[in-house]
Chain A
Amino acid sequence: MTGLTATVALGGLMGGCRFDPATPTPPRASASPDPDASVLAAAHAELSSLISRLTASTGTAALVACHRTQLTALGGQPPSITVRGRPLTPTETVVRERRAVTRFTHWAGTCSSGDLALVLASVAAGIAMQPVLQGAP
């Protein structure tokens, strides 16, 4: 711990002695981007796509409502109801939902934030619980 502290302090001192007006130091915030930003964006895209496709399908209102709740929990903005993709067949719906479970499970296991991991795992579990997957072969 002491060695680490010394290394950090020394690095700070050396950085403070540097003088190079041609290369300004970038803002500190940009040096540490959110490591989960790409996961969160992918999660938003996955749910938004499902919502758009399912909205155009028949008999999927409960599933659409489920995904809207999940997207909101992840801080995403559900797509407008006027944004509809090509309708999914029942078989395609099962395939897409299963793929979503796999993806959210993976993201939950690999993201940096524990709190985000919990929400992602909960989304995966919430999809796995849906009747469309429970009755599927």
Chain B
Amino acid sequence: MTEIDALQQALAAEHAAVYVLGVLGGRAAHLPTPVLRAAISTSYDVHRTRRDALEALVAAAGADPVPAEPAYAVTRDLVTPGQVASAALRVERACLTTYGALVAASTGATRAWAVTALIATATSELGFGGAAEPLPGMDTEIPGS
């Protein structure tokens, strides 16, 4: 995988993350879980910032940033706080996988940025019920699979 391919893959994952977290924020607004609401709101802002950064990196590399899809599939089972948290956790894991690929495929400042994003994404999983693991991002599922 080339660096630009990895950048585009990470950008596609961030497009999906921003969309899904927006939906999850709406669902969480009706739940009596302020901690979860705050975690989703924070995560939404972080992913939006990373999406913008990735678009800039792709453009700086001379390519057209992959656009967002009109919509993304979101599970209908978003009634309980646990279901919303699980969906948010899946978002983080999907992004974590793409940042792992970007770390492996990039160099220099882009890799340094990707390393930071990978670490932050891994720790974000904890806010959605994820468990600490020794090597996050080394054996997670591929987004969309």
Chain A interface (Cβ < 8 Å from any Cβ of B): 65-67, 69-70, 73, 101, 105, 108-109, 114-115, 117-119, 121-126, 128-131, 134
Contact = CB atoms under 8 A, between A and B. Distances in A.
Interface string B94-138: 000000100111110001101110110111011000001111111
Contacts of B115: 105, 108-109, 117, 121, 124
A130 B135 contact: no
Nearest to A123: B135
B137 A122 contact: yes
Contact of A129 (B106, B114, B136): B136
Nearest to A130: B132
B106 A69 contact: no
B123 A109 contact: no
Contacts of A101: 119
A69 B139 CA distance: 14
Contacts of B118: 121-122, 125
Contacts of B135: 69-70, 73, 119, 122-123, 126
A122 B136 contact: yes
A126 B133 contact: yes
Contacts of B133: 126, 129
A73 B136 CA distance: 12
Given A105-B116, A117-B104, A118-B104, A126 B111 contact: no
A123 B95 CA distance: 17
Nearest to A117: B103
B137 A66 contact: no
Contact of B132 (A105, A115, A129): A129
Contact of A125 (B104, B111, B122): B122
A96 B145 CA distance: 38
B122 A126 contact: yes
B92 to A, nearest CB: 12
A35 B36 CA distance: 45
A66 B119 CA distance: 16
A125 B103 contact: no
Instruction: Report, nearest first, the 10 A-B pairs whose CB atoms are least far apart.
Output: A125-B122, A109-B112, A129-B132, A69-B134, A114-B104, A118-B104, A125-B119, A121-B115, A66-B134, A122-B135
Contact of B134 (A70, A105, A108, A115): A70
